[in-house]
Structures are given as structure tokens and as C-alpha cells.
Amino acid sequence: MSRVCEICGKGPRTGNRIIRHGLEKYKGGIGLHTTGITKRRFLPNIQNVRGKTSEGGVRRMKVCASCIKQGKVVKG
């Protein structure tokens, strides 16, 4: 299943999951230390909606929630 918005092109992005151990300095410790970094993916909130096309027809589209909120999709 494609996780790309058909209107704005928003798709999955990559990032890191950072694990830190230790006690913060302001709590009396020596500070947080990074003990593990793993890759992760940030997936967009893609919804299947019935929207009107530019030709005037109605079809199913994969659209992100932010485009729906901004009114870029006219539901059919």
C-alpha cells in the first residue's frame, strides 16, 4: 500500500529513536547519556476518501489528514 498523499505528495520520513539513561543534572545526576540509537519511520496519516477530480468525476483518493483539514479535498 502506497503511503503517499495524492495532493501534496507527503510520504514516509525517517528519523532516530534515541534511548537515554541516567539522572538529569538538575536532579543531582551527571546528565543523560545516549545508550542506543535505532532507525524509525514517521508515517503520514493517510485516509481513503471519495473526492471530486478536476474533470468533475468522483473517485477514491489517498489523502493525508492535513489536506482534508485545509479543505484541499472536495468530498464527492
Straight-line distance from the first to the last Cα atom of the chain, in angstroms, rounded to the nearest whole number:
23
Q: Are 38 and 20 in contact (CB under 8 A)?
A: no
Question: What's the predicted TM-score (pTM) here?
Answer: 0.74
pLDDT value for 3: 93
Q: What is the pLDDT along the chain (76 residues), one digit of tens a residue?
A: 589 999 999 999 999 999 999 999 999 999 999 999 999 999 999 999 999 888 889 999 999 999 999 999 988 7
pLDDT at 55: 85
Confidence (pLDDT) at 1: 59
Containing 65, the helix (H) or strand (E) segment is: helix 65-70
Domains of the chain and any CATH numbers: 13-70 (2.30.170)
Residue 39 in contact with residue 13, Cβ under 8 Å?
no
Q: What is the pLDDT of residue 36?
A: 96
